Structure 1
Amino acid sequence: MRGPRVGVKALVVRDRQVLMNRYTDADGHVVLALPGGGQEHGEDQVAALIRECREEIGATVEVHQMACLFEILTERRYRDGAPIPLFHQVNIAYWCDLAEGEEPGLGTDPDAGQDGTEWLPLDRLDDHDVRPVELKRWLQSDPSSRPVSLGVCAPA
């Protein structure tokens, strides 16, 4: 049996806006999610997050302390009805800043379907399809009452 995958996510907040990756489907629907991805075997989390951000947002980040963690558990089926193996990822989001002189854009190896980045105003997150939804609520809550764990979240 395989264990969960570890993901690292960058929480970059500047001028009351959070940086998100933008994904647009064939129907034009836009979904936004934090930059980051899977930690590779033998790679520490900071190195993984710096690598993932270069790949996805084309910018170097400075990684600070952990902000929160959340799990994604998904079960899907192929079109013929056969089950797809369970995807289980434990995501650790870190507060980050862009390194001096860096600005985000589309990186060297973006995720499938990713077509850019966006700065979203924290007070307008409800106007967007931010995934996971639990993270959107967490970002909108009072910082002094934010839990460290968001638990199991709806798939991104």
Structure 2
Amino acid sequence: MRRKLRVAAYAVCVRDGRILLARSPTPDGTPEWVLPGGGMEHGEDPYDTVRREVEEETGYRIEVTGLLGVDSWRGRHPGRFGRPVDHHGVRLVYEGRIAGGDLRHEVGGSTDLAAWQDLDAVPGLVRVPLVDVALRLWRERPADGRAALPGRPGTSEG
């Protein structure tokens, strides 16, 4: 089985009771909300990754104000020619403050829309699990930088 490691950096940007999210279509075309961010380029520092990705996906430049934590996820997915891939994602979650730019949608990338969403509305959104992990890190600020979620493998509660 082929193994794949992906390291990525994401930002939690909250202001006036709203969080900045991007919308990403799934392979079946169903859109889901994601944190702005994405994969590191070879040789790129994660700090630079999160700043680049947020600007690409939302049009905003951010100031990174802190590292909230690290999330690790592992799962098997079908790969090319039906060969399964053991995928391991390591996601660094930063807190960011908008420092400039204007809200816009990404063109030709992995997302198609960027928007501010009320924090109270997030539970009703179709979203990737990382949004919940990141919000928990942002709210609780655990000393070990790890958000334990009930029923989630790899966490102290899972």
Shorter-chain TM-score bucket reads 0.7 to 0.9
Q: Aligned ranges for residues 17-28 of structure 1 at < 5 Å?
A: 17-24=18-25
Does residue 98 in structure 1 map to residue 98 in structure 2? yes
Distance 1:38 1:135 in 2: 16
Contact 2:22 2:115 (C-alpha < 8 Å) held by counterparts: yes
Q: Secondary structure at the match of 1:74?
A: strand
Mark the runs of 5 or more structure 1 residues left unpaired by the alignment.
Answer: none
Alignment CA distance shift 1:136-1:108 (3 Å):
same
What is the one-letter code of the residue matched to 1:150? A
Instruction: Provide the C-alpha distance between the structure 1 equivalents of 2:104 and 2:134, rounded to a whole number of angstroms.
Output: 25
CA distance in 1, matches of 2:148, 2:137: 16
Q: Write out aligned runs for 1:3-152 (5 A).
A: 4-24=5-25, 29-77=30-78, 82-100=82-100, 102-107=101-106, 109-111=108-110, 114-132=111-129, 135-136=131-132, 139=135, 143-144=139-140, 146=142, 148-150=145-147
Distance in 2 of aligned mates of 1:89 and 1:121: 27
Q: Which moved more, 1:83-92 or 1:143-152?
A: 143-152
Change (3 A) 1:46 1:137: closer
Residues 1:124 and 1:141: Cα distance change in structure 2 (over 3 Å): farther
Once the two structures are superposed, what CA deviation does each residue of 1:37-96 show, in whole Å capped at 9, x if it has no partner? 11122211111111112222222111121112212222122597x233222110011000
Deviation of residue 110 (structure 1)? Answer: 2.3
- Is residue 31–residue 129 contact of structure 1 (8 Å, CA) maintained in 2? yes
**Structure 2 unmatched ranges of 5 or more:** 154-158
Q: Is the 8 A contact 2:12 2:135 kept in 1?
A: no
Q: Percent identity?
A: 26
Amino acid aligned to 2:39: G
The answer to whether the Cα contact below 8 Å between 2:10 and 2:38 also exists between their aligned partners in 1 is yes
Mapped partners of 2:20, 2:123: distance in 1: 15
Aligned length: 149
| Alpha-carbon distance, 1:106 to partner | 1.5
Residues 123-149 of structure 1 show CA distances to partners (whole Å, capped at 9, x for unaligned) of: 1211101211x6426626893465621
Contact 2:69 2:146 in 1 (8 A): yes
Distance 1:145 1:49 in 2: 19
Please state how far the C-alpha of 1:27 moved relative to its aligned partner: 7.2
**CA offset at residue 25 of structure 1?**
5.2
Root-mean-square deviation over aligned CA pairs: 3.2
